Structure formats: structure tokens, C-alpha cells
Amino acid sequence: MSHAPVSIIGLGAMGRALATVLLDAGHPVTIWNRTANKQQALIEQGAIGASTPEEAAHNMLIILCVTDYAASQEILDNLGPALHQKTLINLTTSTPEEAQNLAKQAENYGARYLDGVIQASPAHIGSPTATLFFAGAFDTFSEHAAALTTFGTIRYVGANPGQASLYDMALLGLWYDAEMAYFNALSLIGGRNADLDAFLPFAHKQFGYVIDALTETTQEVQEQRYPKGPASLVEHSRVLHQLAELRQSRGMDTGQLDHLNAIVDQLIADGAGNHGFTQVSEKLVDGQTR
């Protein structure tokens, strides 16, 4: 079985990991990095070193993994016509708007473009635990899926080039929000003066309830149905206001909780008091409340 030749432009920790697993899988790999000494170890493993990005871009599949959006733009401008009829996959961290701009820039040079996001550390590249999201033309994704699977578990998330970045930021936000929720809980029970080890298994259990309910919650949001479940919005409201008052008395920030209370109070005023908590999604998921 022949393996498609791949060019890797950018040899930071992630770029080196990408090149290494491609070489291990039998792909011919051409590499370039602004700091040339980063190429040597990969050349010893069988990679072909290039002296310029244009020289590296002779393969039909080119993967860009550089410092930031500005560096990506600069390299695309340098490559210019060398990208004609080739596929450029950008694995450089960027915003959705930046990804869309890079897609237009690549298409102006006659290239096909995919934007990708890596949800893994360099050490996990090449294992199923590494998840990579890709956005852009589905036929382009399908054509190169065999090579991309070398990096880990791959998922196509949509035709809009900015969608992979949106997934990345949404999942990072989920992690930050969960961490903040846990820190708030630790603060409420007394912080470092409390027995945190004793509290830990109960926190595990509480997060488990959320995880176990995700599928049902997603269905309720999609179907716009909000069964009462274990408690109505009226009952939730009492707890939410008590929680806000308690946090405030401890000198904790209540901004996000105050925002949630305002939404719940409005829903109750609108006659939804006997509905379930998921109805809050109408004010959050569709962006009606900022």
C-alpha cells in the first residue's frame, strides 16, 4: 500500500510530532522550519529537509502548523502560486474568522483548504486519545482521511472553515467552566481550610450526574421540550437565590449566578415556572441573552 507524500511546514513540538507519526506510518515527508536546526532529527529519521516553504510545498498535501495566524498568512503569501491545485491543511491555532480568511486566501491561490484543530498534546499524537476536528469541503476531508487518521481520531465538523475552531473554543470553554464551578464549590465549603479530600468523592458524583444527563439534555434542547424532572423552575429558583446570597456573604463573585437568576425569574414570570431547568437553554443556547 502506497502512502501519500506529505509536506509539514512548521516544526514546533506539535509539528515535529505530526511529522514523526507520518514517517513511522511510511509516508514520505518533506519538512521546513524557519529555524533550520529543528529539521535535523527528522531528516535522520527519513524526512526530506527543504530550505524554503516553497521548496517544501512540492507535495500535493501540505500541512501548516506554525506559531499563529500572522505566521500562517505570511507563509501562504510566500507560497502563493505554489499552492495551485494542492490541498492545504491548517493546524495552526486560529479564531473562526481567521480560519475563514485563510480559506479565502488559499482558494485565491487555487488551493483546496481544510482547517483543523488538535485536541491533544504532542505526546498523544498518533494514538486514539488524540482527537482532531476538521472543517471545509467534505470531499477534501475524505480524500485525505487516510493520512489524517495517522494523527489520531479524526472528525469532520462541517463545511464552514471556522467550525473546527468553534468546536475547539466551545470544548475549552466547557473545561474552564467546569474548573471554575469546582473552584467555587471548594471556596464555599471553606477553601484550603476545609477537608478537600472528604469533599472530592461527592464532587465526582455531582459531575457524574451532569455527564449522565448530557444525552437527555441534548434531546430536550433539540426538541424544545422541558419536562419538570426532579424539580421545577420555581423550585430551582429558590435554591439559586439561596446560593447567590450565600456566595455573596462569603465575598465570592456572583455575576454569572445573578445572570442565571435573572433568566429563571423571567421564565417564571412568563408562565414557565412548572417547566424543567433545561428551558434556560432558550435564553442561552440560541444567543438571545448575552
Domain end residue (candidates: 151, 166, 181): 166
Nearest by Cα to 154 from 87, 72, 91, 92: 91
Give 121's contacts (C-beta < 8 A, 6+ positions apart): none
Over residues 126-145, the mean pLDDT reads 97
Q: Is residue 175 part of a domain?
A: no
Per-residue pLDDT tens over the stretch 170-197: 999 999 999 999 999 999 999 999 999 9
Over residues 267-282, the mean pLDDT reads 96
The 3-state secondary structure of 90-130 reads ECCCCCHHHHHHHHHHHHHCCCEEEEEEEECCHHHCCCCCC
User: Of all residues in the chain, what percent carry a pLDDT higher than 90?
Assistant: 94
34 and 160 together in one domain: yes
For the domain that residue 35 is a member of, what is the CATH number? Answer: 3.40.50.720
> What band does 289 get if pLDDT is binned at 50, 70 and 90?
very low
Over residues 197-210, the mean pLDDT reads 97
207 and 114 together in one domain: no
pLDDT of residue 1: 58
Q: Is residue 253 part of a domain?
A: yes
The backbone torsions φ and ψ at residue 109, rounded to the nearest 5 degrees and listed phi first, read -95, 5
Q: What is the rounded distance in angstroms from the CA atom of residue 282 to the CA atom of residue 261?
A: 14
Q: What is the rounded distance in angstroms from the CA atom of residue 58 to the CA atom of residue 79?
A: 10
pLDDT of residue 114: 98
DSSP state of 208: H
235 and 158 together in one domain: no
57 and 123 together in one domain: yes
Q: Is residue 133 part of a domain?
A: yes
232 and 121 together in one domain: no
pLDDT of residue 36: 87
pLDDT at 290 over 60: no
Give 29's contacts (C-beta < 8 A, 6+ positions apart): 5, 6, 7, 8, 19, 22, 23, 42, 46, 47, 48
For the domain that residue 265 is a member of, what is the CATH number? Answer: 1.10.1040.10
The overall average pLDDT reported for the chain is 95
pLDDT of residue 2: 77
Q: Is residue 277 part of a domain?
A: yes
> What band does 288 get if pLDDT is binned at 50, 70 and 90?
low
Q: Is residue 41 part of a domain?
A: yes
Per-residue pLDDT tens over the stretch 140-159: 999 999 999 999 999 999 99
DSSP state of 136: E
Cell numbers representing residue 155 in the block: 472528525
Structural domain range at position 202: 195-286
Q: Is residue 173 part of a domain?
A: no
40 and 130 together in one domain: yes
Q: Is residue 28 part of a domain?
A: yes
Over residues 38-51, the mean pLDDT reads 96
16 and 150 together in one domain: yes
Cell numbers representing residue 80 in the block: 502563493
86 and 44 together in one domain: yes
146 and 224 together in one domain: no
Per-residue pLDDT tens over the stretch 79-96: 999 999 999 999 999 999
60 and 101 together in one domain: yes
Q: Angle CA(254)–CA(182)–CA(209) in degrees, nearest 5?
A: 110
> What band does 285 get if pLDDT is binned at 50, 70 and 90?
confident
20 and 84 together in one domain: yes
Number of domains making up the chain? 2
Q: Is residue 282 part of a domain?
A: yes
Give 56's contacts (C-beta < 8 A, 6+ positions apart): 7, 8, 9, 30, 31, 32, 50, 62
Q: What is the rounded distance in angstroms from the CA atom of residue 288 to the CA atom of residue 290?
A: 7
101 and 205 together in one domain: no
Domain end residue (candidates: 145, 166, 187): 166
The partner residues of 48 in beta bridges, in order of sequence, read 30
pLDDT at 223 over 60: yes
